[in-house]
Amino acid sequence: MYTPQNLGRVIDPAADPARVALLGVDLALNESPCTYGELEAMADGVARALLQGGGQPGDRVAILAANSVRYVATLLGIMRAGLIAVPVNFKFPPATIAYVLEDSGARVVFYDHERRNAVPAGLQAIALDGEPFLDYLRPGPTPEAPVSPEDVALMLYTSGSTGKPKGVRLSHASHLWTVRMRRQATPLDAERALIAAPLYHMNALALVLLSLSSHATTVLLPQFTAAAYIQCIGRYRCTWLTAVPPMIAMMLREHDLLARTDLSSVKVIRMGSAPVSASLLAQIHAMLPNAKVINAYGTTEGGPVVFGPHPDKLPTPPMSVGYPHPAVSLRQARGPADGPEQGILEMKSPGLMLGYHQRPDLPPPFTPDGYYSTGDVFRHDDQGFYYFVGRRDDMFVSGGENIYPGEVEKMLEHHPAVQQACVVPVEDDIKGQKPVAYIVLRPGKHAEADEIKRYALAHAPAYQHPRQVWFVDALPLASTNKIDRAFLLRDAASRMNAPNRPSTARPPSA
């Protein structure tokens, strides 16, 4: 079996160079196919150009662009040269982009046309569009750039809801291990993956590395739109998808397109970033009748290899993220309010990050015995299956009771008219904080705020019921396609402080 030492060499050189590696598709569905041979040549061309330009081991090189074939080639080329790739979240505000580029110490940035104005002056900048990129390449095989297993290959910046983004240092060894573990569990050799999530996020980045290692063909969209995503599934007979619940909710609104598109090719959809509710799961099965739904879990710091199937082949319960992976050690740190089966997940595996980049202001993310504390609260059942409860940071206290928004949201999404729910706290003079809810209704369904409140009171402890309910057309998304809770926290506070506030309203789009 091919075992590279450099993450940029994840493609097996003995595999068929004529096979299509990446099928770049723009939002107008224009195709740009790239074979494995062409991708290898392009990646080598980037690596040689960086080295001939004076690149030294440990130099950081940023990519500020939407998904594209050239993005992937550049990512591989940076690592092949023994340099550190820094994919930048281009949805950050300009000041935050400038901070990331400065904090990372990037000496070069590759960008696409739409991001040109976000590149700070004085930084060497190379356009990925058109002829300038081809002129930049230096043809020929890359000189072997020796790397040690613990050398940094990637630096991803997390987009925490508060504070400055943190640079997560990921080694060659950690993510080659991740690729190897995922290939053993879910080989993509005969699959066709579809990627629309941004490559600056672990979800998409891990999948493209897995697909390239498997010598599969990947359909690559520059970004997610429900219409383009659905059309690509039908046109290219995609079999493997990754998504987050808001993406599915947007797809479900495309009634006419769904009705005339054959989605039967999809065999697996790996859901991440937030747990799938029973209601959403039923809708996924109706939309993708042949697809197995994997309720996945992972973090930038710990990687995507955490859970898997039960060793005794017990079926994974629909709401569970699975059983601990055999190569990962898990435990739960219990707080005063946690029961014997619940606590913050701590993990140890070869896939862990090396640490944060120059952030001595942060408390150490590792325990003294080397476990990474995720900050995510899980519970486990008698069979050893784990269930996501919520972020400890999202938990709030109302009248002395701990409330995890995720638990309340799952309950609300059982209501037959509710498509999605998001619960956030607002200040209260008596309770300290109290929950309010934003609701997206299912197409063609209707509900009143009082009806939602009565349902919550009938199906959950009284302290969990939302004191205000606001119906919205869609929940705002943050830059990683997760629900933007920080925006909703601000919006809810503004609504509660507004005179003569209505009990139902629609927030501005975000």
Mean pLDDT of 127-131: 94
State the pLDDT at residue 500. 58
Tens digit of pLDDT for each residue in 330-376?
999 987 767 788 999 999 999 999 999 999 888 889 999 999 999 89
pLDDT, residue 220, reads 98
Other beta carbons within 10 Å of 457: 12
Averaged pLDDT score across all residues of the chain: 91
d(CA 359, CA 276): 33
pLDDT of residue 509: 40
Predicted local distance difference test score (pLDDT) of residue 226: 95
pLDDT of residue 275: 66
Query: Is the per-residue pLDDT at 117 higher than 50?
Result: yes
Q: Indicate the pairing of strand 469-471 with strand 432-441.
A: parallel
Average the pLDDT over each of 200-209, 427-436, 495-504 and give the range with the smallest value: 495-504
Residue 507 pLDDT? 46
The whole-number average pLDDT for the span 401-420 is 90
H or E element in which residue 64 lies: strand 60-64
**Does the pTM of the predicted model rise above 0.75?**
yes
Q: Domain extents for the chain? A: 7-223, 307-391, 396-497
Structure token pair of residue 406: 């995720």
pLDDT recorded at residue 137: 97
Average pLDDT over residues 1-20: 94
Record: fold of 396-497? GMP Synthetase; Chain A, domain 3 (3.30.300)
Confidence of residue 506 (pLDDT cuts 50, 70, 90): very low
At 498 the pLDDT is 78
Residue 102: per-residue pLDDT: 96
Write out pLDDT tens, residues 232-281: 999 999 999 998 888 888 898 899 999 999 999 999 999 886 667 777 88
pLDDT tens digits for range 145-198: 889 999 999 999 986 545 689 999 999 999 999 999 999 988 888 999 999 999
Contact 464, 456 (CB under 8 A): yes
Residue 480 pLDDT: 67
What architecture is the 7-223 domain classified under in CATH? Answer: 3-Layer(aba) Sandwich (3.40)
Superfamily of domain 307-391: Luciferase; Domain 3 (2.30.38.10)
Specify whether the CB–CB gap between 271 and 195 falls below 8 A: no
Range in 28-37, 47-56, 155-164, 203-212 the model is least confident about: 155-164
Percent of the chain with pLDDT over 90: 73
Mean predicted confidence (pLDDT) in 396-419: 89
pLDDT at residue 505 is higher than 50: no
Name 222's Cβ contacts closer than 8 Å, sequence gap at least 6. Answer: 26, 27, 66, 67, 68
pLDDT in tens, 277-311: 777 888 899 999 999 999 999 999 999 999 999 99
Residue 195's Cα: distance from chain center in Å?
11
> Please, what sign has the CA dihedral across residues 106, 32, 183, 226?
positive
pLDDT at residue 164, rounded to an integer: 86
Decide if 81 contacts 145 (C-beta within 8 A): yes
Residue 80 in contact with residue 102, Cβ under 8 Å? no
- Helix 245-252 vs helix 226-236: angle between axes, to the nearest 10 degrees? 80
Average pLDDT over residues 125-153: 93
Task: Name the burial class of residue 48, with classes exposed (0-12), middle (13-18) and buried (19+) by CB atoms within 10 angstroms of its CB.
Answer: buried
Measured from the Cβ of residue 52, the count of other Cβ atoms closer than 10 Å reads: 11
Per-residue pLDDT at 8 exceeds 50? yes
